[in-house]
Structure 1
Amino acid sequence: MRAFVAGLCLAALAFGASAARDPLAAQRWRSRILVVSAPSAGDAGLKAQRAALGPVRDGLAERNLVVMEAVGTGPEATALRKRLRLPPEAFRAVLIGKDGGSKLVSEEPIPPQTLFATIDAMPMRKDEMRTRSSGP
């Protein structure tokens, strides 16, 4: 029993260490992620991306799309940029699938229509839409 508990503790520590190295790990297989990276809060690309996403919150939720921002030079922003190999001095928007892979990378804000079309073309999303439409 003691060995079992020790094994669980080690597994929990390993998971925690993995999540610390990969800030996207907690969302894997749960959500798609749009990572928006900007050098500062005043960045024009960041402001434009926020403005474009504001009116389409329902569409984001429907597609299990979470927005994460890497703004400035803090540890969270640095970790996200390192994970995705993004430059700290420029705007980038990256769409990450539920599998953790990059699906779309842009140096410009991504219009919601482009995000939604890209996501809706993914096999996992097609399955979600089929399941939802054939539900009770």
Structure 2
Amino acid sequence: MRTVLFACIVLVLPLPVMGTPADTIDVRLEDHQWEHRLLFVFAPSDASGARAEQEAAFEEHDPGFRERDLLILTVMGPSKGTQRAAPAADPQPLTEAAARRLRDRFDVPEDAFRVVLVGKDGTEKRRDPEPVTARSIFDTIDAMPMRQREMREQDGGGE
């Protein structure tokens, strides 16, 4: 019995280690509806100064992102991107098709910088042409009726 169990474990272990296209995420907005708020950062390239400034503005704000169920999706150039659960979380690469689809969906030119906030209902809540502060994004979210309800529920059931 131990030999069979050992053989099963050995056969399964190499699969997650292999670098395959399955490691990439094919993001679709409808998959996140009612679960996550999405913050898109579109940049002309990985080396964009505005992208670096935006990432610096979000540093050390992981708890705020997590409290608000806010995922960060960064799209760089025409077809490269990542998804993170919070600013300091490990980035997961997006498929090239997903990155292109998101840039098209939000009508952001390849040479433009944009920050786009999408609510849990799947609609665009805000769009900025330059880097924004985490506090500014949190204030926008905290003013939303759904977030107000979430905060009441966290504070004791909305009495």
TM-score normalised by L of structure 1 = 0.80
Question: Match for 2:36 among 12, 31, 39?
Answer: 31
1:57 matched residue in structure 2: 62
The total of aligned residue pairs comes to: 115
Among all aligned residue pairs of Structure 1 and Structure 2, give the percentage whose two residues are the same amino acid.
Answer: 40
1:97 matched residue in structure 2: 119
Task: Measure, in 2, the Cα distance between the counterparts of 1:23 and 1:40.
Answer: 22
Question: Which of the pair is proportionally richer in helix?
Answer: 1
Task: Structure 2 unaligned segments of length 5 or more: list them.
Answer: 1-25, 80-96
Task: Measure, in 2, the Cα distance between the counterparts of 1:72 and 1:121.
Answer: 32
Question: Match for 1:82 among 71, 93, 104?
Answer: 104
Report the CA distance between 1:103 and its aligned residue. Answer: 0.6
1:120 matched residue in structure 2: 142
What amino acid is aligned across from residue 28 of structure 1 in structure 2?
Answer: Q
Residues 23 and 83, structure 1, Cα contact 8 Å, conserved in 2: no
Task: Measure, in 2, the Cα distance between the counterparts of 1:42 and 1:109.
Answer: 15
Deviations 1:61-107 (A, max 9, x none): 00010000111222332111111111111100000000111111001
SS of the counterpart of 1:81? helix
SS of the counterpart of 1:82? helix
Stretch moving more, 123-132 or 82-91: 82-91
Deviations 1:87-132 (A, max 9, x none): 1111000000001111110011111111000000000000000000
Pair 1:108 & 2:113 matched: no
TM-score normalised by L of structure 2 = 0.69
- Give the greater-gyration-radius structure (CA): 2
